[in-house]
Structure 1
Amino acid sequence: MKTLRYHAVILVTALTLCAAMPQRTSGQSKKLIVIAHRGDHTTAPENTLKAFSDAIATGVDYVEVDVRASSDGELVVMHDATIDRMTTSHGKLSDLKWSDIKQLMVSDKKHPEFGNHKVPLFAEVLKICKGKIGIYLDFKDGDIEKAWRLIQEFDMENRVVVYLNKEEQLQGWRSHAPAVPLMASLPDTVKNINSYLNFQKLVNVQIVDGDHSDYTADLVRGINKNGQSIWVDVQEPDENEALWTKVLSLGVQGMQTDHPRELVRWRSSLK
């Protein structure tokens, strides 16, 4: 994910609301929260209903879901701003109506054996996740009020955390859903706990993320002491147990992975 940079123009007075931290449910490991990046795309194309269903079956705690708006305001699930990579068509998703998007077929060009799948609506993802798993909502763009209404409709208010992609989303989510936990990446300027605390004065988020290389053990301890959780990205071509062991030793609370089955299996071996 791209680092989200906040500026001093954000009004601190608008950020005094305190949201509850996301909680582990019964059966989840206290050692580590596992997030499946765009679902389990080792078995199905990313961000498809099958990828999310397969991730649920692996026993992960959250699925990361990318949400964007069609030209007529429907909230659809796709990572890229264009449909070029995941379909045989071309163009910006935001230029297309839902009636056009729902005709598209998503596939993984590196794995044709995964087959072709529909582009899902956010509501469809909420439906299959309800009562089973949490959602790490990477909110690319769209109507925040509409997204929150859908989350409430499926009784997922306590199972969603929202990753902020734009400065203006911060006040939008605080206005419509003041209790939802928010997440942001560390700015490049954060190198130690003092610069982190200055960042937190502006944003007041409950979770921080970013690449695992952004963190040191000292920084992790300081962030945790300040009351925030850290869910890092470990998606790398050589993602493996050695990397997970190294990252866990920093003291982070969660990892977002491209290999959810293997990470869950490794987590279960921890004592």
Structure 2
Amino acid sequence: MKRLIIFAIVYMASLQASHAQVNPPPRARHSFTVIAHRGDHVKYPENTLEGYAEAIKNEADYVEIDIRTTKDGELVSMHDGTVNRMTEGTGNVKDLTLAEIEQLHVRSRDSLDRAVYRVPTFKQILALCKDKIYIYIDYKNADVSVAYAMLKEYGMEKQVLVYINNPQQFIDWRKVAPGMPLMVSLPGNVKDVDGIKAFIDKVKPDILDGGWKEYTPAMVASAKAMGLTVWPDIQSQNEAQNWDEALTKGFTGLQTDHPADLVKFLKSKGLR
């Protein structure tokens, strides 16, 4: 599970105390935001251009992608640190060149699917998504300066948000791109309004993630009052049974494994 490393929060906050501003996410296209977890990975393999294109087709607001760096410094999207689970290859992404990764086939969960899927580069994702869908970057392993330069090259720096996996990433993004909206997970020890206020005051994130069940309506309202957006994870095989309850908590967005179905549900509620 994605988690901010709690033991380093105080250290991180002390370094970032001057960054008290809140950077909002890109301008909302709908009253309720739908984030496609690793693209539409129920229909297509996760983190593929096909999965991202399907999310665009079905009117999701964001695709969530995972960024890692190859041996020769190229950025690609792969959730795991290795290529073992998703391809016929083996080894760490960081130990393989882009040419080696481009030869691999991304596995489909459908045994009858004979289509060829490849590991996409960050550049390919930017080209596909620009002006069509926003990008939620789960920042696994990459140089911030390189990634931000690429965003500017494609004119996408205002069409993304960045999910932070460790304190150094937070520090690096604030230094290189102080206006970038940064998302962190709610720590497991934050259980009430006082806890969420203290956490926000220390860390100064722009957007909050975490599991949807971790929040109470009062906590969501408190975060909003402090200027933060709360878009938690609800993704699971049977998540649809939880959508109504999630709405009662006051969220304005969710990360989902079923973006097309969630969009249809929201439309039925008059929220899209």
Which band: TM-score by shorter chain?
over 0.9
Equivalent residues of 1:72, 1:98 under 8 A apart? yes
Indicate whether 1:249 and 2:248 are aligned.
yes
The residue number in structure 1 matching 2:16 is: 14
Report which stretch shifted further, 215-224 or 166-175. Answer: 215-224
Moved over 6 A (4+): none
Equivalent residues of 2:61, 2:134 under 8 A apart? yes
* Root-mean-square deviation over aligned CA pairs: 1.5
The residue number in structure 2 matching 1:181 is: 181
- TM-score, normalised with respect to structure 2: 0.93
SS at match of 2:232: strand
How far apart are 1:55 and its partner, in Å?
A: 0.6
SS at match of 2:199: helix
Question: CA offsets, 1:213-250, max 9 Å, x none?
Answer: 1111121111111111111111112111x311110110
AA at the equivalent of 1:29? H
User: How many angstroms apart in 2 are the aligned matches of 1:16 and 1:209?
Assistant: 23
Distance verdict in 2 for CA 1:269–1:154, change over 3 Å? same
Distance verdict in 2 for CA 1:246–1:65, change over 3 Å? same
Report which stretch shifted further, 9-18 or 41-50. Answer: 9-18
The residue number in structure 2 matching 1:199 is: 199
Equivalent residues of 1:37, 1:63 under 8 A apart? yes
The residue number in structure 1 matching 2:33 is: 33
- Report % sequence identity: 39
Q: What is the total number of aligned residue pairs between the two structures?
A: 267
How far apart are 1:201 and its partner, in Å?
A: 2.4
User: How many angstroms apart in 2 are the aligned matches of 1:230 and 1:24?
Assistant: 15
User: How many angstroms apart in 2 are the aligned matches of 1:112 and 1:215?
Assistant: 40
The residue number in structure 1 matching 2:159 is: 159
The residue number in structure 2 matching 1:47 is: 47
How far apart are 1:178 and its partner, in Å?
A: 0.6
How far apart are 1:13 and its partner, in Å?
A: 5.0
SS at match of 2:16: helix
Indicate whether 1:24 and 2:23 are aligned.
no
Question: CA offsets, 1:193-214, max 9 Å, x none?
Answer: 2222222223211101011111
SS at match of 1:108: coil
SS at match of 2:113: helix
Distance verdict in 2 for CA 1:197–1:38, change over 3 Å? same
Stretches of structure 1 that go unaligned for 5 or more consecutive residues are: none
AA at the equivalent of 1:191? K
User: How many angstroms apart in 2 are the aligned matches of 1:267 and 1:106?
Assistant: 32
Question: CA offsets, 1:155-192, max 9 Å, x none?
Answer: 11111000001110011000111101000001122111
Note the 1:128-139 alignment, pairs <5 A. 128-139=128-139
User: How many angstroms apart in 1 are the aligned matches of 2:73 and 2:178?
Assistant: 23
Stretches of structure 2 that go unaligned for 5 or more consecutive residues are: none
AA at the equivalent of 1:176? V
Report which stretch shifted further, 42-51 or 5-14. Answer: 5-14
User: How many angstroms apart in 2 are the aligned matches of 1:38 and 1:11?
Assistant: 29
The residue number in structure 1 matching 2:93 is: 93
User: How many angstroms apart in 2 are the aligned matches of 1:139 and 1:112?
Assistant: 32
Equivalent residues of 1:44, 1:114 under 8 A apart? no
The residue number in structure 2 matching 1:259 is: 258
The residue number in structure 1 matching 2:267 is: 268
- TM-score, normalised with respect to structure 1: 0.94
